[in-house]
Amino acid sequence: MKKTLLAGVAIASTIAMSGAAFADIVIATAGPMTGQYASFGQQMKIGAEQAVADINAAGGINGEMLKLEVGDDACDPKQAVAVANQMVGKGVVFMAGHFCSGSSIPASAVYAEEEIIQISPASTNPKFTDERPDPEGGTYRVCGRDDQQGAVAGAMLAEEYKGKNVAVVHDKTAYGKGLADQTLLNFEKAGGKAAMYEAYTAGEKDYTALVSKLKQAKIDALYVGGYHTEAGLIVRQMREQGMDTVLISGDALVTDEYWSITGAAGEGTLMTFSPNPALNPQAAPVVAKLVADGKPTEGYVLYTYAAIQAWVDAVKAAGSTDYAAVSDALNKGEFSTVLGSLSFDGKGDVTLPGYVWYEWKDGKYEYR
pLDDT per residue rounded down to tens, the chain (368 residues): 454 444 333 333 333 333 334 579 999 999 999 999 999 999 999 999 999 999 999 999 989 999 999 999 999 999 999 999 999 999 999 999 999 999 999 999 999 999 999 999 999 999 999 999 999 999 999 999 999 999 999 999 999 999 999 999 999 999 999 999 999 999 999 999 999 999 999 999 999 999 999 999 999 999 999 999 999 999 999 999 999 999 999 999 999 999 999 999 999 999 999 998 888 899 999 999 999 999 999 999 999 999 999 999 999 999 999 999 999 999 999 999 999 999 999 999 999 988 999 999 999 999 99
Which CATH number applies to 12-144+278-342? 3.40.50.2300
User: What is the structure's pLDDT at 23?
Assistant: 78
Distances (CA, A) of 28 to 44, 96, 115, 341: 10, 6, 14, 23
Task: Give the separation between CA 53 and CA 51, rounded to whole angstroms.
Answer: 5
Distances (CA, A) of 190 to 125, 161, 207: 22, 11, 30
Q: Where are the domains of the chain?
A: 12-144+278-342, 147-273
User: What is the structure's pLDDT at 62?
Assistant: 86
Alpha carbon 260 to chain centroid, angstroms? 21
Examine residue 170 and say whether the peptide bond preceding it is cis (omega within 30 degrees of 0).
Answer: no
The amino acid occupying position 245 is T
Distances (CA, A) of 245 to 156, 212, 301: 16, 12, 31
User: What is the structure's pLDDT at 353?
Assistant: 85
Domains 12-144+278-342 and 147-273 share a fold: yes
What's domain 147-273's architecture? Answer: 3-Layer(aba) Sandwich (3.40)
Residue 155 buriedness (CB in 10 A; 0-12 / 13-18 / 19+): middle
User: What is the structure's pLDDT at 4?
Assistant: 42
Rounded to two decimals, what is the model's pTM?
Answer: 0.89
User: What is the structure's pLDDT at 9?
Assistant: 36
What string of DSSP letters covers 234-277? HHHHHHHTT--PEEEE-GGG-STHHHHHHGGGGTT-EEEE---G
CB atoms within 10 A of CB 3: 13
Task: Give the separation between CA 225 and CA 77, rounded to whole angstroms.
Answer: 18
